[in-house]
C-alpha cells in the first residue's frame, strides 16, 4: 500500500520537461495518422446562431469582413474565414474585406486564393469581393469606417482609388453594410467593433475569435450586441460541417460552378489531436491533485 502512495506522489511531481514531451506526443501521434479516432462534432448554440444570421442574408447584400489575426493564430481562425467566404459566395453576397492587423492582408489573400483555386464559385475581384488592405490604428480605423469610410480607406490593396471601383460607390459608412463579420485574435478585436462601431449605429455584428477571447465576448453575445460567436478551433470545425452540409444539399445555383466536389475543411481533421491532448491535460490535473492530497496528508 505504501509504495502505491509513493508512486502517486511521484506522479504529482513530474519534471516539467517530461510534461512537455507527453504533450508533444499527444499532438504528434493523432496528426501522423488522422483516422486513429473519428469523432462526431455536435453544433453548439452560438455557432448555429452565427450560421442562421448569415443564412438570412439575401443576394447582393453587402457584408464587411474584417481580418484581425496573424499567422500565429491561423490554425484556429483560418478554417473559419474559408468556411464563411464559401458560405457568403454561395449566396451571391458582396464581400468587402478590411484588415486591422498587418498580417491580416496576407491571411485574407491566402483565404481568397484558396477559394478561387478551388473554382467552386464564379467570383471576380472588384465585382463580388474587394480587399481594402491594411490600415494601422485599430479603434481609429473602426471609428473611421463607422463614421466615414473615405477618411480611412482611399485605395484598395492594389492601390487603385476606391472611386474608380463600382462596388464602392454607394458605400459611405458602416450603415451601408448589411452585416459586419469580424475574425479576431486579440486587439483590435470584436470588443472594439462592438464599442466603436456597431453598438452606436445598430449594425448586426458577429465574430469568430480565438478560444481565449470567448469568455470576454460572452456578455456581448448574451446581450445581443454580437449575433452568436464561433469559438476557437472546435467552433471552426462545427461551422465547417454546417457549411459543408449546406453546400452539399444545395442544388447548384447560378453562383456555383457545376461538377466541382466540395472538400471538407481542415479544422475537423485536427479535432482528434485536440481531444486527446485535452484528455491528457485533465489527467495531469487529476494526478497533480491526488499527489497534492497525499503529500498534505503525509506532512500533517
Partner 1 sequence: MILKRKLTKYVFLPTFIIGIYLYNPFDIFLIGNEMSFVFIILICFVIEYFIEKSKNGEEIYMRPIAAIKAMEEAVGRATEMGKPVLYIPGIASLDEIDTISGLIILGHVSSMTAEYESDLHVPVAVPIVMETAKETCKESYLKQGRPDLFREDMVHYITDDQFAYAAGVNGIMLREKPAAVFFQGKFYAESLILAETGNSIGAIQIAGTGSSSQIPFFVTACDYTLIGEEFYAASAYLSGSPEMLGSIKGQDYVKVFCIVMILVVFINSILFNFSLMNFNITDFFRINLIK
Partner 2 sequence: MNFSIEMIGVWFAVLLTLSIFSYLYGDNPFYKSAEHIFVGVSAGYIFAITFWDTIWPNLFGRLFPSYVQAGFKFDIIYIIPLLLGIFMLLRLSKKYSWLSRISIAYIVGMAAGLKFYVFLNSNLIIQIKSSMLDFNTDIIGIINQIIILIGVISGLVYFFFSKEHKGTIGKISKVGIYFLMIKFGASFGFAVMGRVSLLIGRFEELIKYSSKEYSYSTPIILISMVIILTIWSVKETKNDKLKQINKR
Partner 3 sequence: MKRQLAYFVVIFIGFLALAGHFINYPPLNNFIDNDATQWFDIISGFAAFLGVINLLQLHTNKLVYKRKNWEYSILTIVSFMLMIVFGFFYIGMEGIPRGAHLKVEGTAFYWMFDNIYLPLGSSMFALLAFFVASASYRAFKIRNFEATLLLISGVLLMIGRVPIGHIIPWWMSVEIYICIIFALTANKFSNRKNMISSFILCLVIIPLIIYFLNITHWNLFKIPEVQEWIFDVPATAGSRAIMIGIALGTIAQSFRIITGREKSILGD
Q: Applying CB under 8 A, which residues contact partner 2?
A: 17, 20, 23-24, 27-28, 31-32, 72-76, 102, 134-137, 139, 154-155, 161-162, 191, 194-196, 199-200, 210-212, 214-216, 219, 222-225, 231-234, 270, 273-274, 277-278, 281
86 binds partner 3 (CB under 8 A): no
Nearer to partner 1, 23 or 262 (CB): 23
Asked if residue 216 lies in contact with residue 237, where contact means CB atoms within 8 angstroms, the answer is no
**Residues 53-66, buried b or exposed e (16+ Cβ, 10 A)?**
bbeebeeebbbbbb
Count other Cβ atoms within 10 Å, centred on residue 12: 18
215 binds partner 1 (CB under 8 A): yes
Tell me how far, at minimum, the Cβ of 27 lies from partner 3, in Å. 8
Task: List the single partner that 246 binds among partner 2, partner 3, partner 1, none, CB under 5 to 8 Å by kind.
Answer: none
222 binds partner 1 (CB under 8 A): no
Tell me how far, at minimum, the Cβ of 250 lies from partner 2, in Å. 29
Encoded one letter per residue, x for contact with partner 1 by CB under 8 A and - for no contact, window 117-136 reads --------------------
Axis-axis angle for helices 74-90, 104-117 (nearest 10): 50
Tell me how far, at minimum, the Cβ of 284 lies from partner 1, in Å. 13
CA 125 to each of CA 28, 38, 56, 116, 131: distance values in angstroms, whole numbers, following the listed order: 39, 38, 24, 10, 8
Asked if residue 227 lies in contact with residue 204, where contact means CB atoms within 8 angstroms, the answer is yes
Smallest Cα–Cα separation from 85: which of 236, 252, 284?
236
Tell me how far, at minimum, the Cβ of 2 lies from partner 3, in Å. 15
275 binds partner 3 (CB under 8 A): yes
CA 185 to each of CA 87, 230, 257: distance values in angstroms, whole numbers, following the listed order: 21, 12, 33
Amino acid at each position: 500500500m505504501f509504495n502505491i502512495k509513493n508512486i502517486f506522489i511521484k506522479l504529482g511531481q513530474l519534471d516539467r520537461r517530461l510534461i512537455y514531451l507527453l504533450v508533444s506526443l499527444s499532438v504528434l501521434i493523432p496528426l501522423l495518422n488522422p483516422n486513429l479516432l473519428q469523432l462526431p462534432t455536435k453544433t453548439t448554440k452560438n455557432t448555429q446562431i452565427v450560421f442562421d444570421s448569415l443564412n438570412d442574408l439575401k443576394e447582393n447584400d453587402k457584408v464587411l469582413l474584417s481580418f484581425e489575426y496573424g499567422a500565429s493564430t491561423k490554425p484556429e481562425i483560418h478554417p473559419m474565414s474559408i468556411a464563411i467566404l464559401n458560405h457568403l459566395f454561395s449566396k451571391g453576397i458582396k464581400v468587402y474585406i478590411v484588415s486591422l492587423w498587418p498580417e491580416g492582408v496576407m491571411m485574407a489573400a491566402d483565404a481568397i486564393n484558396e477559394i478561387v483555386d478551388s473554382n467552386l464559385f464564379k467570383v471576380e475581384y472588384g465585382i463580388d469581393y474587394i480587399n481594402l488592405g491594411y490600415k494601422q490604428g485599430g479603434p481609429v480605423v473602426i471609428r473611421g469606417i463607422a463614421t466615414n469610410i473615405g477618411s480611412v480607406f482611399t485605395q484598395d490593396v492594389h492601390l487603385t482609388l476606391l472611386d474608380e471601383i463600382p462596388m464602392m460607390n454607394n458605400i459611405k459608412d458602416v450603415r451601408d453594410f448589411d452585416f459586419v463579420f469580424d475574425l479576431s485574435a486579440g486587439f483590435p478585436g470584436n470588443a472594439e467593433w462592438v464599442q466603436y462601431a456597431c453598438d452606436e449605429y445598430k449594425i448586426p455584428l458577429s465574430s469568430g475569435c480565438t478560444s481565449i477571447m470567448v469568455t470576454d465576448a460572452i456578455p456581448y453575445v448574451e446581450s445581443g450586441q454580437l449575433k452568436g460567436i464561433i469559438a476557437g478551433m472546435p467552433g471552426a470545425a462545427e461551422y465547417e460541417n454546417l457549411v459543408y452540409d449546406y453546400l452539399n444539399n444545395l442544388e447548384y445555383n447560378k453562383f456555383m460552378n457545376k461538377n466541382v466536389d466540395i472538400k471538407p475543411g481542415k479544422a475537423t481533421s485536427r479535432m482528434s489531436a485536440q481531444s486527446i491532448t485535452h484528455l491528457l491535460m485533465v489527467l495531469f490535473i487529476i494526478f497533480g491533485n491526488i499527489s497534492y492530497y497525499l503529500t498534505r496528508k503525509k506532512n500533517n
